[in-house]
């Protein structure tokens, strides 16, 4: 039984089943392509709610502007003579009046739509969804999308939204049924005011319900998006290889870097004054010029087989090799190639250099 269970797990692994959460790199790549969790119901609900709030605060002013347009049309413009100049002036004046009324509605719609998208996906600008892709013209794939489970879910959502909002609007009307039946006995002004307030109330209730449904739809879209960008274990491994590089290629690059570093050290080695060794584990080449350098400098160093190569090259160049285990170990762990000898080791290195210079007869 246990072997069968392990076999099933292995089959799932090699089948590439997408069971793992998406990595940050995968999420960033999806966002660059415009693939994000977004519900179109959220901006629609916010546009509707913003429009209702605008009518609630500025509805009286907009009504006055409309009545003023009707008054001036039937009191002044109707008496004008038909001429090209008058027609042009009439067109310009009516266009300006219309823009003055419509502009606040358009502005609040644009701001509400922008906020509805921004709170879902944040700042995002990409042209990838606009690119021409031949697979989008595939009729088979198009038919699959039309008759897919997702299309069925969207249809059910739309029907439920219509049913819920319709029931809410009917409930508002039903609560005012007695007043509606008495409108025939009221004045025209009162009837228009009542119908306007009732319409605004129905729209407000519908907008609030639509906003609640939009939040639920966003949660569903978020779930579908997370499900769609899941990755298999093999996908995660491939992404790691792509981000970090193939281990084989990385090892070759490191080997190439080590070889280049070794070649540079061998080229600089003839300038060394002394080679301090461990004697088999470490090798550090020291150079010092009292006229141009403030302190001795390490120009080559290595460990194990690199140290052995440096020693062999130093023998060919007839560089003095001095065994000093503590000093070699300390230099290897504290200094990099091209660094000056630190102060705490300066005295020990100076003694070694003085001994070398005495050997070469540079100092008495």
Q: Is residue 162 part of a domain?
A: yes
Interaxial angle between packed helices 149-175 and 139-146, expressed in degrees from 0 to 180 and rounded to the nearest 10: 40
Note whether 168 and 205 are within 8 A (CB). yes
Same domain, 46 and 182: yes
User: How much is the pLDDT for 361?
Assistant: 62
Same domain, 221 and 273: no
Same domain, 172 and 93: yes
pLDDT band at 143; cut points 50, 70, 90: low
User: How much is the pLDDT for 12?
Assistant: 46
List, in sequence order, the alpha helices (H) in the chain: 2-14, 24-32, 41-75, 84-121, 139-146, 149-175, 177-181, 188-228, 233-244, 247-268, 305-316, 325-334, 343-360
Note whether 182 and 167 are within 8 A (CB). no
Same domain, 88 and 180: yes
Q: Is residue 19 part of a domain?
A: no
Same domain, 185 and 259: no
Note whether 277 and 323 are within 8 A (CB). yes
Kindly report, residue by residue over 182-213, the tens digit of the pLDDT.
Answer: 877 878 777 877 887 888 888 888 888 888 88
Q: Exposed, middle or buried: residue 20 (CB in 10 Å: 0-12, 13-18, 19+)?
A: middle
Same domain, 153 and 226: yes
Q: Is residue 293 part of a domain?
A: yes
Q: Cα(158)–Cα(163) distance, rounded to whole angstroms?
A: 9
Q: Is residue 103 part of a domain?
A: yes
Same domain, 97 and 145: yes
Same domain, 226 and 320: no
User: How much is the pLDDT for 2?
Assistant: 44
- Phi-psi map region of 316: left, alpha, beta (phi>0 left; psi -120 to 50 alpha): alpha
Q: Is residue 29 part of a domain?
A: no
User: How much is the pLDDT for 364?
Assistant: 42
Tracing tokens 């392509």 back to the chain, one arrives at 33
Same domain, 74 and 211: yes
Check residues 163 and 258 and name the one with the higher pLDDT: 163
Q: Is residue 11 part of a domain?
A: no
Q: Is residue 134 part of a domain?
A: no
User: How much is the pLDDT for 77?
Assistant: 74
Note whether 10 and 199 are within 8 A (CB). no
Provide the whole-model pTM.
0.54
Instruction: Give the CATH number for residue 295.
Output: 3.40.1690.10
Q: Cα(230)–Cα(98) distance, rounded to whole angstroms?
A: 51
Look up residue 232 and give its two tokens. Answer: 């298999």
Q: Is residue 215 part of a domain?
A: yes
Residues spanned by the domain of 74? 36-119+139-230
Kindly report, residue by residue over 97-120, the tens digit of the pLDDT.
Answer: 888 888 888 898 899 888 888 888
Same domain, 216 and 277: no
Angle, CA of 319, 325 and 329, to the nearest 5°: 95
Neighbours of 292 (CB within 10 A): 6
Q: Cα(269)–Cα(275) distance, rounded to whole angstroms?
A: 9
Look up residue 32 and give its two tokens. Answer: 């660059």
Share of residues in the chain with pLDDT > 90 (%): 0
Check residues 337 and 9 and name the one with the higher pLDDT: 337
Same domain, 206 and 331: no
Kindly report, residue by residue over 261-311, the tens digit of the pLDDT.
Answer: 777 777 777 877 788 887 677 888 888 777 777 788 888 887 878 888 888
Beta-carbon contacts of 214 under 8 Å, excluding residues fewer than 6 positions away, are: 39, 41, 42, 44, 45
Same domain, 50 and 106: yes
> What secondary structure does DSSP assign to 120-174, as a single string?
HH-S----GGGS--GGGG-HHHHHHHHTSHHHHHHHHHHHHHHHHHHHHHHHHHH
Q: Cα(238)–Cα(245) distance, rounded to whole angstroms?
A: 10
What domain count does the chain have? 2
Please compute the mean of the pLDDT values over residues 136-148 and round it to a whole number: 65
Most confident of 23-32, 134-143, 211-220, 277-286: 211-220
Beta-carbon contacts of 207 under 8 Å, excluding residues fewer than 6 positions away, are: 45, 48, 49, 52
């Amino acid at each position: 039984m246990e072997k069968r269970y392990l076999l099933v797990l292995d089959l799932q692994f090699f089948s590439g089943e997408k069971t793992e959460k998406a990595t940050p790199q995968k999420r960033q790549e999806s966002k660059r392509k415009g693939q994000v969790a977004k519900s179109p119901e959220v901006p629609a609900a916010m546009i509707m709610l913003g429009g209702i709030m605008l009518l609630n605060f500025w509805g009286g002013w907009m009504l006055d502007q409309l009545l003023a347009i009707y008054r001036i049309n039937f009191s002044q413009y109707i008496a004008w003579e038909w001429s090209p100049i008058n027609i042009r002036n009439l067109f310009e004046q009516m266009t300006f009046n219309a823009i003055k009324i419509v502009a606040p509605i358009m502005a609040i719609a644009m701001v509400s739509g922008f906020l509805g998208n921004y709170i879902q996906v944040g700042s995002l600008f990409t042209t990838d969804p606009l690119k021409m892709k031949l697979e989008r013209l595939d009729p088979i794939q198009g038919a699959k999308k039309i008759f897919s489970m997702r299309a069925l879910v969207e249809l059910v959502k739309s029907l439920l939204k219509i049913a819920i909002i319709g029931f809410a609007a009917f409930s508002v009307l039903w609560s005012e049924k007695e007043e509606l039946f008495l409108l025939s006995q009221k004045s025209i002004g009162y009837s228009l005011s009542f119908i306007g307030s009732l319409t605004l109330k129905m729209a407000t209730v519908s907008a609030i319900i639509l906003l609640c449904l939009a939040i639920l739809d966003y949660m569903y879209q978020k779930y579908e998006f997370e499900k769609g960008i899941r990755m298999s274990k093999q996908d995660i491994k491939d992404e790691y290889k792509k981000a970090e590089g193939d281990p084989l290629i990385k090892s070759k690059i490191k080997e190439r870097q080590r070889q280049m570093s070794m070649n540079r050290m061998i080229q600089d080695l003839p300038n060394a004054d002394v080679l301090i060794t461990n004697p088999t584990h470490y090798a550090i080449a020291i150079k010092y010029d009292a006229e141009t350098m403030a302190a001795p400098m390490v120009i080559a160093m290595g460990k194990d087989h690199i140290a052995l190569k440096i020693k062999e090259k130093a023998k060919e160049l007839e560089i003095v090799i001095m065994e000093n285990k503590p000093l070699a170990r300390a230099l290897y762990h504290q200094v990099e190639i091209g660094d000056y000898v630190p102060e705490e080791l300066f005295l020990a290195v100076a003694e070694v250099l003085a001994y070398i210079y005495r050997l070469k007869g540079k100092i008495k």
